[in-house]
Structure 1
Amino acid sequence: MSQPRSAWLGDFLLLSALWGASFLFMRNAAMELGPLPTAAARVGIAALCLLPLLWRRGLLPELVRHHRPVLFVGLLNSGIPFALYSYAVLSISTGLSAILNATVPLFGAVVAWAWLRERPGASRSLGLALGFVGVALLAWNKASFTPKAGAAATGWAVLACLLACVCYALAATFTKRYLAEVKPLVLAAGSQLGATLGLALPALWLWPGRAPSLTALASLLAVGVLCTALAYILFFRLISTVGPARTLTVTFVVPVFGVLYGTLLLSEALTPAMLGCGVVILCGTALATGVVRLPARKVVADRP
């Protein structure tokens, strides 16, 4: 029996709002700490929140059994992407970063096609093409590899966002192939621990000598506790309640919150080009993930 809408809609909207806010909090922290320290602090705080919960539920032995692949996927699914996004939001708007993040399912479909031989059908093939056209148009409009009028070059930041999305896609396929039997909470806590271990040394090396402001510290706590630890709990609770397919549609709502926060709180401009390309990307993603499908052709039998 399917759950009533009211039983999961609150979790869904809260998860979307939290992940949409992560770009804003990463920007506030990275402006003072730098990308690598920001990413390391984010996953470290999340690990400190999730590991006691893992211990309380008696799941630490399972993490020990699968520690190598779980720690590796944490670096691929959290450590590297969080560092890339923390770098990107220093040069491009948080709203643009959120829109580019919507390409994760597109790259996920390509990786699954190449790695797991999951050949896409007509709807998904059209969605992939449409989504990547939207990405190309958005990158063409926003990416510049040379500074203009005193502004930083944005091309590397756009590429960093797309590389982060590729990392998410690779991690999802790796998890599906090698960690399908591992409990979600073990994956969540173990991945944050793995990301922390992977980023600890470079983050300590690059940690700024000046103490961060209260705004930066509050942003770190918010992105670590709310946007990572709590968000993972909501994410896996939704998967168990309504299934992975419906849960992954959160991808379509996160950019809405990301753009909203950037526009209202940071006075970021939302251009018609960004809005149009974002719609193209989301439509392509909806087709590529199977949320929307082309109508099936009716086969009319020949009459005798």
Structure 2
Amino acid sequence: MKKDYWLLLLLAALWGGSFLFMRVAVPSLGPLPLIELRLSLAALTLLPVLCWQGGLALWRQHWLRIAISGGIFLSALPFCLIAWASLSLPAGVASVLNATTPLMTALWALPLAGEKLTAQRSSGLLLGLAGVVVLMLGRGAGFTAGSLLPVLAMLAATCCYGWAGHMTRRWLQGVPPLVISTGMLSSGALLLLPLAWWQWPAVTVPPKVWGSVLALALASTALAYLIFYRLIARLGATQASGVTYLVPVFGVLWGALLLGETINSSMLLGAALILAGVVLLSWQPGRAR
């Protein structure tokens, strides 16, 4: 059991590092080519595992739903939005904004799952929104279009995650996670290929950027998904989802240590408000553990 929690920390470090790798690579490659490389390399890494486990038949059976919920809304579209936002947002700020995913999931639960907007849920959503506002004001950028659009892109990405989470549970109940993850990465790469080819950079890409691409695709995507689904099998979905609270910690840490990003009080306060909102949304009396 102790080993599983070390894996949880490793997963948070890998996913937190994804914002660092995107911040390094996206100025040279551009958002679309970078995400195409991320998806295709990760898919090529997982495909042999899927074939070895005999999951191709299940993928063919559910390919359309996997392509819509996973290929578009769980990978290609949100990844591109995050990569574009990373052109101007620090890695630490992007990782904190990414933590609004549970807030968006809760909002989608109103029309998709028939849940009610209780006082507790409303308070959690308001706390999360307050955290986003504090982050923006703390960057000293105000509410100009140039500073607002990257933040909105991050929120649109987490909105995609929230919708896809509900639809994956509705459409793909009982489908093995490896089938879903390999299918979504592969279909996302195929859908994005023409646009990425059109936007491919004409300049020489530095070796440091290629290193970030490999780390993003192999470590923060392929390996991270394998660890995540192992944790779901070992700890259950609820405890595995605890990684949500740890990813911003590592995202801020890697940005400060490796990119020299500043950690100020407004970033810490914004992160605390967003995570407090997530905790309030997911808190259920009698299930405190």
TM-score by length of 2: 0.94
Deviations 1:57-100 (A, max 9, x none): 00100000000010112221011111111111110110000000
Asked if structure 2 preserves the Cα contact closer than 8 Å seen for 1:123 and 1:293, the reply is no
Separation in 2 of the partners of 1:217 and 1:123?
Answer: 45
**Aligned letter for 1:93?**
P
Separation in 2 of the partners of 1:283 and 1:145?
Answer: 24
What SS does the aligned partner of 2:274 have? helix
Kindly tell me the number of residue pairs found equivalent between the two proteins.
286
Which of the residues 165, 184, 187 maps onto 1:194? 187
Q: Where does the alignment leave 5 or more consecutive residues of structure 1 unmatched? A: 148-152, 297-304
Separation in 2 of the partners of 1:231 and 1:238?
Answer: 10
Q: Where in structure 2 are the equivalents of 1:244-283 lying within 5 Å?
A: 244-283=237-276
What SS does the aligned partner of 1:154 have? helix
Which of the residues 121, 124, 130 maps onto 2:121? 124
Q: Where does the alignment leave 5 or more consecutive residues of structure 2 unmatched? A: none
Separation in 2 of the partners of 1:287 and 1:45?
Answer: 37
Which of the residues 170, 174, 178 maps onto 1:181? 174
Q: Does 1:52 align with 2:70?
A: no
Asked if structure 2 preserves the Cα contact closer than 8 Å seen for 1:84 and 1:161, the reply is yes
Deviations 1:236-258 (A, max 9, x none): 11111111111111111000000
Q: Which has the higher helix share?
A: 2
Separation in 1 of the partners of 2:142 and 2:201?
Answer: 28
What SS does the aligned partner of 2:163 have? helix
Partner of 1:226: 219
Asked if structure 1 preserves the Cα contact closer than 8 Å seen for 2:73 and 2:164, the reply is yes
Q: Does 1:43 align with 2:39?
A: yes
TM-score by length of 1: 0.89
Give the superposition deviation at 1:34. Answer: 0.4
User: How big is the alpha-carbon RMSD for the aligned residues of Structure 1 and Structure 2?
Assistant: 1.9
Asked if structure 1 preserves the Cα contact closer than 8 Å seen for 2:134 and 2:267, the reply is no
- Sequence identity (%): 41
Partner of 1:99: 96
**Aligned letter for 1:198?**
L
Q: Where in structure 2 are the equivalents of 1:17-166 lying within 5 Å?
A: 17-73=13-69, 74-119=71-116, 121-142=118-139, 144=142, 146=144, 153-166=146-159
Change (3 A) 1:32 1:145: farther
Separation in 1 of the partners of 2:232 and 2:110?
Answer: 23
Separation in 2 of the partners of 1:67 and 1:106?
Answer: 28
Separation in 2 of the partners of 1:120 and 1:48?
Answer: 42
What SS does the aligned partner of 2:193 have? helix
Partner of 1:299: none
Give the superposition deviation at 1:228. Answer: 0.3
Which of the residues 176, 190, 198 maps onto 1:205? 198
**Aligned letter for 1:22?**
S
